[in-house]
Structure 1
Amino acid sequence: MTLTGTIALCILAAYVAGALWQKVRLGITLHQALLYLPLKLAYRIDDSRMRDARKAEAPVVYVVPHQSRLDPALMLSLLPEDTLHILDEASARSHWLEPWRELARTIVFNAEHVFVSRRLVRVLKGKGRLAVYLPDEVEPDVKAFRLFRAVAHIAHRADAKVVPIFIGGSRNLPFSLTPREKAPRKWFPRLTIAAMEPATISELMARNVTQPARASNALFDRIAEARFCASDPRRSLFLAVRDAALRTGASYPILEDPISGKLSYRKLFIGARLLGLHLASVTAPGEAVGVLLPNSNGLVATLMGLASGSRVAAMINYTAGPAAVTAAVRTAPIRIIVSSRKFIEKANLDDIVAAAEKGSARILWLEDILKQASIMDRIAAALFWRWPVHAQDASKPAIILFTSGTEGSPKAVVLSGRNVVANAMQAEARISIGKDDLLLNVLPAFHSFGLTGGIVLPLVAGVRLYLYPSPLHYKQIPEVAAKLRPTIMFGTDSFLVGYARTAKNDDFSSLRFVVAGAEPVKADTRQVWRDRFGAEIIEGYGLTEAAPVVSVNTATHSRDGTVGRLLPGMKMRLEPVEGIAQGGQLQLQGPNLMLGYINPESPGVLQPLGEGWHDTGDIVTVDREGFITIAGRARRFAKIAGEMVSLGAVEALAHALWPEEQHAAVAVPDKRRGERVVLVTTAGEADASQLRQFAKASEASELILPHDIIKTAELPRLGTGKIDYGAVRRLAIEQLGSGEAAA
């Protein structure tokens, strides 16, 4: 008995000592510390930001997305004891929560009355504190969004500071409020509490770059920032995907392609380790290794193998032509390229291989690497798949992508692992996706949209991914969709138009939404997908330098004709442009912005972006709700007799008159007026006088009428589906020189 008593006293003393340490460390009461300590130990909680949240000067409103039954217990333990907690009925009545409810004042949530009660405003004006638990929805419906409006209204009236608090990992607890099919369960996940700096609603509204934002939108965006911060975007690409595997389940079938079939996370990482070890034996850490592969399981395993070995994956655009491939190999520079004999043979890319070798690169074939792996190598990979081949540093280069070169020579864009993972987490904080989704990705991985959105995002979010090797198979892709029944798809306007032409009405009917980028989505494209397939196209905006997503529309925050609202964690400003009255040139900051460029003139030399703003070169406008509208590239404006003319507006006018055709407007030199606009179109019946009459009837400015019209059977396009404006401009100059333009 004496020994048992001694042991019990030691345990009790250790427990009290631990509670006292939490009290001192966080500034909470001893009663709070005694109840918080077991939660801290069980879930290894990162609560480093809570001390500052407690210090927020009253009046203050703590806004907590309610993900699990544990959340109120954590907040009652960590927030100041004079905070009034507004609990839902289940939390207010739960017997197990009773000890924690004794820590502070609580009232029962009443959706009909509590948020319009003047009592809450009086509490805040009396230097009080509120803790409000809102529904945990990335894209809240109309009813849920009323609560955001109510909370913002109360905080605004009381001039109270708002502190959003998000508990990362809470939705994966056994007592999560998210349906099991959307969020995998884990008994003891590591929790991360993200608390944003205090700010009033007025201060949040003033962050909009043109005019004060709506209070509800300002609050919603601030909560999205907290959600993003809790996701730990500082992890390397390998560790982010590995953590998703441990959270979702190593045996979960995460990946599939038409040739190799399905791969679980475990099998993916086993293959990645085999590849990573081999590539590590012939390359150095930080070295750029070329990837010349189509969308496939082998591509993803190669990417993860390079990430595991801290090598840089340089994505080769095999549709850009031999000259561009040789330039890319020399610019990076690249000694080793990973490819597949079957792919090269089937795609007839011998000239691309020759171009790579001309740039002094050596090809390593996936088939040979896998054959060389011994039984012991495979056993070791199966045992140690969780661990990377080389030490990880998320701040170092991880991916090299090459800009599309639509208006000039392609540049090498260098992205860190942190850039890519952060961008995926930013998108997940804005778009509602989950374990019950299936994403069909047809966009190539050498395109930043296809890489981050179509591969990295589903891998780190635990979303099943089906990779199709080419976006150009307009007949086969609808058939694949009809068989797979995907819920999400990525694409560009050009590709979506092509799929709609060949698809049956039920081929894409399973889609919840389609994320479109890379080029503007035409109104009739959006309407066709709505009417025929019941699928909503949510348009976004991005650039390779931003890894790439910058803004996106969502189900609850969407406006046709815009590219949505800025992702959480990013800042923007508009620089005035001479000759343009509304909007300005968009500049950005954010954790997803690249490390810098490598220019062909200085191979292998990184020109860092630094801590400043990145100039996108795009002219945009921003409305009160934060929706961004792209007016066009700064280079996509022509200066005619001192007036700035949007080439995008010229194309829009032509498309409105000839909607079934393709159009591209370019500016060419003009001795008298500086520049003149040329419309290159596939419309065989295109006529300048007809376009002039249509513009007059549409009350469009005469400034956007093209000086010349050139007809062609097909517009030049890049492998990504975007119009190759460099080639269009060369075509226009050539045709005008030969006198074949229509006046």
Structure 2
Amino acid sequence: MLGAIVRFLLRIIYRVELRGREHYDAAGTRTLILYNPGSILDPLLIAAMLPDRITLLADRALEHKWWMRPVCALTDTQFFDFSSPAATVSLVHALARNGRCMVFHSGRLGNDPRYTRILEAAGLIAEKADATLLPVRIDGASSTMFSYLRHKGRRRWLPRITVSVLEMQKFRPSGHLPPRERRRRMGERLYDIMTGLEYRSGMERCNLMQALMEAAARCGRRFPIAEDQDRHVLTYGALLLKLCVLGRAFRRLFRGEEKVGFLLPTSLPGLVAFFGLHSASLVPAMLNFTSGISSVVSCCRTVQLSSVLTSRRFLALADLTAMEQALRDAGLRIVYLEDVAKNLTVADKLFGALSAFFRVSPSTSAEAPAAVMFTSGTEGVPKAVLLSHLNIIANRYQALSMLTIGSGDKLFNCLPMFHAFGLGICTLLPVIAGVRVFLYPSPLHYRIVPRLFYESQSTIICGTDTFCAGYARYGQPYDFCHARLVIIGAEKMRESTRRTWLEKFGVDLFEGYGATETAPLISVNTPAYRREGSVGRAVPGLACRLVPVPGIDEENTGVLWVKGDNVMLGYMRYSEPGVLEPPVDETLAEAYAVTGRGDDGSGWYETGDIVHMDEEGFIFIRGRAKRFAKVGGEMVSLAAVEDALKEIWPDAVLGVVAIPDPRKGEQLALVIDTENVTTSRIAAHFASRGLSPLWTPKRIVSVKQAPLLGSGKFDYRKALELAEKG
């Protein structure tokens, strides 16, 4: 009777809906219920909405909380000390005796070590009791007045709440493992289930403008979402107004065009212009203005652009007048933001204001292109990468299911918007997730970035090892005192960089891994789960498989292929302008054509990276498939040679490339921004380490400034040209 009354009140107040009842019925009687913790209402919602009375295995710290009283009335509650080993035996007996049980503690999924220990205990309980795991997803409760995130996000009195029961799961780890290791593996497996639950249930198939409008409604028009170095602050209301007005003008200016070249820096005008193009149902093609004139012109031809949107002020400050003229000579129309703003009509302002007020967004399909990115071109001509709205939205949910980031954080973004990480993770993720972002146009200002990070009171920053080493060199110890999460990628993290950050700033670095083609995140280490030397585990919703490489005999090692919602629509190549080439595994496709069974190969993307994946799913990058040289008949990893060389010159920027050799097929060449580098010194160091003499570069090119791309990656194509010239 009491349960029926509480259920009626919850449906009236929060419009609570139960989904997936069939999964609950199929789970059986001995079931351990797992859920995504978000509020103190969680156990009450599950107890009231599920058809049977459940047993609640609660943390003893909650025994005297006033809000536990109605929960205890609806459930058979037993309190335990989860940190006590003896409690595990009691929990196993409770599950075996009472059937359907749920473990509850007042913590948030993510970086809470206490929650990690509870997951380990829950996994061990499920194994010992031979129980089925039943994931339950609660949507909406984390935005109520009873949320755990009440100090980080905007709360509402009466949000709609949905309780979704997902498919049951059952697993058993390897029995030969020691008890402590088995317990840890159990916790990791349950963590994967929970992050997968977080992703699948939260994922929404919508376009970027719809996601932005939803974020503005959730956080409020007065929420200060973006800021720049001039201390100009953009609220959601101002952002919507500006982009809708600009969108009206863009719709008139670019009539008949589908894609528009985007030549703007990471800035507030750049942010507004990006979404302004989307409000006009146009696709921005993000041009890399640091890659050189010929590269930018080829990118425009690859995607058959007619117009390029830029700014006179930006072109002057970045000294890009020669590029501007080259684009004109190539037949492209240059449109300046200053002229667009000056020529806005009364109708643009009026209808734009109405669209912003009513949060009108285009009905573009989630599968339609949202942005055109370009590969770095380190080893050839840049290819166009078409990312859909779904790709970007999915990667946002994948990242947030593994990383605890809230609206109380501020992300410092100095990465360029033409870079996949700078656009997808550092610009679009915070804006559509309600996380404040500070925009700065260049990551190369090693003295300025640390100071601005401190002054802006930012808490999160992403970059490369090269950038972070520069910030550590010039930053003051207090500059990163607010830092809570620092993620680096694009190149291997040096231990010296991590050690310097720990000693100077007291901040740990977490290495991640991604690709332009995956919008961009593939894997990341987290405070909850990390492995030294790895780039973390794959994000939820992304399938991974390894294809063996001839000459590499290491177990569980090969070229990484991935497939998921965040994998691109396809490539466009310079040789075939405008022709979309969807990702596919030709080997699987051929086998499917013959047998008609299995995977047809569509949607699989070859990363080109040779990786090792351990039993727990941590990914260790061994090198690029194209970055192996065959010296004297032996396969040599250029990345491994670079790692060994960085032991001698830890602060240098260097790269190793392979050039033809008449006797041994190929030889190694080193390009480094340090003088007095000799092969004898390298050979002596390698001999002391027991490394093969074949690893010693035969040609050394010392330069004043190492060739770098705008994304911070080493420019191997330019390095190869330098090495060949000698």
Name the TM-score, length of structure 1 as normaliser.
Answer: 0.88
Match of 1:116 in 2: 87
1:574-623 C-alpha deviation (Å, 9 max, x unpaired)? 11111112211111112111111111122222112263421111011122
CA distance in 1, matches of 2:204, 2:387: 14
Q: CA deviation at 1:450?
A: 0.5
- Alpha-carbon distance, 1:231 to partner: 2.2
Q: 1:32 to 1:545 in 2, by over 3 A?
A: farther
Determine helix, strand or coil for the equivalent of 2:609: strand
Structure 2 CA distance for partners of 1:414 and 1:199, relative to 1, 3 Å: same
1:542 corresponds to 2:514: yes
Q: CA 1:507–1:271 in 2, change beyond 3 Å: closer, same or farther?
A: same
**How far did 1:192 drift?**
4.3
Aligned to 1:690: 681
Taking a change above 3 Å as real, the CA distance of residues 65 and 709 of structure 1, as seen in their structure-2 partners, is: same
Aligned to 2:541: 569
**One-letter amino acid of the structure 2 residue matched with residue 548 of structure 1:** P
CA distance in 2, matches of 1:92, 1:283: 64
Give yes or no for contact 2:14–2:160 (8 Å, CA) kept in 1.
Answer: yes
Could you tell me whether the CA contact under 8 Å between 1:310 and 1:398 is conserved in 2? no
- Report which stretch shifted further, 621-630 or 642-651: 621-630
Q: For the structure 1 residues 193 and 404, does the alpha-carbon distance in structure 2 shift closer, same or farther, using more than 3 Å as the test?
A: farther
CA distance in 2, matches of 1:187, 1:155: 36
Alignment check: 8 A CA contact 1:404 1:718 kept: yes
Alpha-carbon spacing, 1:195–1:235, altered in 2? closer, same or farther (3 Å): farther
Spell out, residue by residue over 1:536-562, the C-alpha distance to the aligned partner (whole angstroms, 9 max, x if none). 211100000000011111122223322
1:331 to 302, 307, 314: 302
2:403 corresponds in structure 1 to 431
> Per-residue displacement from partner, 1:649-671 (whole Å, max 9, x unpaired)?
11111110122322211112223
> How many angstroms apart in 2 are the aligned matches of 1:676 and 1:44?
69
Q: Is the counterpart of residue 146 in structure 1 residue 120 in structure 2?
A: no
Distance 1:97 1:126, change over 3 A: closer
Distance verdict in 2 for CA 1:115–1:358, change over 3 Å: farther
* 1:349 corresponds to: 320
What is the aligned counterpart of 2:566 among 589, 592, 604? 592
Q: 1:508 to 1:102 in 2, by over 3 A?
A: closer
Question: Does structure 1 retain, via aligned residues, the 8 Å contact 2:82–2:121?
Answer: no
Q: Are residue 201 (structure 1) and residue 171 (structure 2) matched?
A: yes
Kindly provide the amino acid, as one letter, of the partner of residue 188 in structure 1: L
Structure 2 partner of 1:273: 244
Moved more, 539-548 or 678-687: 678-687
| One-letter code aligned to 1:679 | L
Matched, 1:493 2:484: no
* Counterpart Cα distance in 2 of 1:298 and 1:50: 48
CA 1:445–1:98 in 2, change beyond 3 Å: closer, same or farther? same
* Counterpart secondary structure, 2:576: coil
Q: State yes or no: 1:36 paired with 2:7.
A: yes
The SS at the match of 1:500 is helix
Is the partner of 2:493 in helix, strand or coil? coil
SS state at 2:531 partner: coil
Tell me which residue corresponds to 1:8.
none
For residues 342 and 163 of structure 2, the distance between their equivalents in structure 1, rounded to whole angstroms, comes to 46
Query: Does the CA contact (< 8 Å) of 2:58 and 2:103 recur in 1?
Result: yes
What letter matches 1:617 in structure 2? G
Which of these residues, 335, 340, 350, is aligned with residue 311 of structure 2?
A: 340
The aligned residue for residue 399 of structure 1 is: 371
Q: Sort the Cα spacing of 1:357 and 1:177 in 2 relative to 1 into closer, same or farther, 3 A.
A: same
Structure 2 match to 1:518: 490
SS in 1 for 2:705: coil
Give 1:307's match in structure 2, choosing from 253, 278, 299: 278
**Which residue, out of 467, 477, 499, partners 1:505?**
477
Structure 2: distance between partners of 1:260 and 1:99: 49
Secondary structure of 2:340's aligned partner? helix
Deviation of the 1:112 alpha carbon: 4.9
SS of alignment partner, residue 376 of structure 2:
coil
Closer, same or farther: CA 338–67 of 1 in aligned 2, 3 Å: same
2:567–2:603 CA contact under 8 A, matched in 1: no
Equivalent residues of 2:209, 2:362 under 8 A apart: no
Contact 2:701 2:722 in 1 (8 A): no
Task: Choose the corresponding residue for 2:633, options 642, 650, 658.
Answer: 642
The equivalent residue for 1:476 is 448
What is the match of residue 677 of structure 1? 668
| CA deviation profile, 1:380-403 (whole Å, cap 9, x unmatched) | 433331533521321111111000
Rounded Cα–Cα distance in structure 2 between residues aligned with 1:491 and 1:334: 30
Note closer, same or farther for the CA distance 1:31–1:263 as it changes in structure 2 (3 Å cut).
same
| Paired letter, 2:208 | L
- Residue identity in the other structure for 1:706: P
In 1: Cα distance, 2:101 partner to 2:174 partner: 18
Q: Distance in 1 between matches of 2:285 and 2:545?
A: 31
d(CA) in 1 for partners of 2:539, 2:61: 33
Cα pair distance change 1:118/1:433, threshold 3 Å = same
Contact 2:564–2:603, Cα closer than 8 Å, also in 1: no
Alpha-carbon spacing, 1:594–1:682, altered in 2? closer, same or farther (3 Å): same
Aligned residue in 2 for 1:183? 153
Report the counterpart of residue 722 of structure 1 in structure 2: 713
Q: Where does residue 615 of structure 1 map in the other structure?
A: 606
Deviation at 1:376, TM superposition (A): 5.1
Higher mean C-alpha displacement, 142-151 vs 98-107? 98-107
**CA shift in 2, pair 1:324/1:152, >3 Å:** same
In structure 2, the partner of 1:14 is none
Q: Note closer, same or farther for the CA distance 1:600–1:278 as it changes in structure 2 (3 Å cut).
A: same
Question: 1:420 corresponds to which residue?
Answer: 392
Asked whether the 8 Å contact 1:115–1:154 carries over to 2, the reply is no
In the alignment, which of 648, 652, 661 is matched to residue 652 of structure 2? 661
Give the partner amino acid of 1:384. S
Task: Say if 1:368 and 1:259 are closer, same or farther in 2 by CA, change over 3 A.
Answer: farther
Q: Distance in 2 between matches of 1:328 and 1:46?
A: 49
Counterpart-to-counterpart distance in 2, 1:509 and 1:560: 24
1:700 maps to 691
- After the TM superposition, which residues 84-123 of structure 1 pair with which residues of structure 2 at under 5 Å, given as runs? 84-87=55-58, 104-108=75-79, 110-112=81-83, 116-122=87-93
Provide the secondary structure at the position in 2 that maps to 1:405: coil
1:163 is aligned to 134
Counterpart among 598, 622, 630 of residue 631 in structure 1: 622
Shift of 1:104: 4.7
Change in Cα spacing, 1:100 to 1:713, as seen in structure 2 (3 Å) is closer
Gapped runs of 5+ residues in structure 1? 1-29, 736-743
Give the distance between the partners of 1:427 and 1:529, measured in 2 at CA.
Answer: 23
**What's the % identity of the aligned pairs?**
37
CA contact (8 A) 1:665 1:678 kept: yes
Q: Which amino acid is 1:434 matched to?
A: G
Aligned length: 701
Partners of 1:273 and 1:95 in 2: CA distance: 48
Report the CA distance between 1:203 and its aligned residue.
7.7
The answer to which of 113-122 and 706-715 deviates more is: 113-122
Counterpart residue type for residue 148 of structure 2:
L
Contact 1:82 1:128 in 2 (8 A): no
Give the AA of the match of 1:592.
N
Per-residue CA deviations over 1:605-654 (Å, capped at 9, x if unaligned) read 21122634211110111223332111110111112233221101111111
- Give the structure 2 partner of residue 711 of structure 1: 702
Give the superposition deviation at 1:694.
0.9
Three-state SS of the structure 2 residue aligned to 1:63 is: strand
Map of 1:740 onto structure 2: none
SS at match of 1:199: coil
Q: Is the 8 A contact 1:115 1:151 kept in 2?
A: no
1:74 aligns with 2:74: no
Classify the secondary structure of the residue corresponding to 1:635. Answer: coil
Equivalent residue number for residue 63 of structure 1? 34
* TM-superposed deviation, 1:724: 0.8
Q: How many angstroms apart in 1 are the aligned matches of 2:372 and 2:163?
A: 33
Whether the 8 Å contact between 2:209 and 2:361 is mirrored in structure 1 is no
Q: Which amino acid aligns with 1:198?
A: M
Q: Secondary structure at the match of 1:693?
A: helix
The superposition leaves residues 208-248 of structure 1 with CA deviations (integer Å, 9 ceiling, x where unpaired) of xxx99911101111101111223224222112222222212
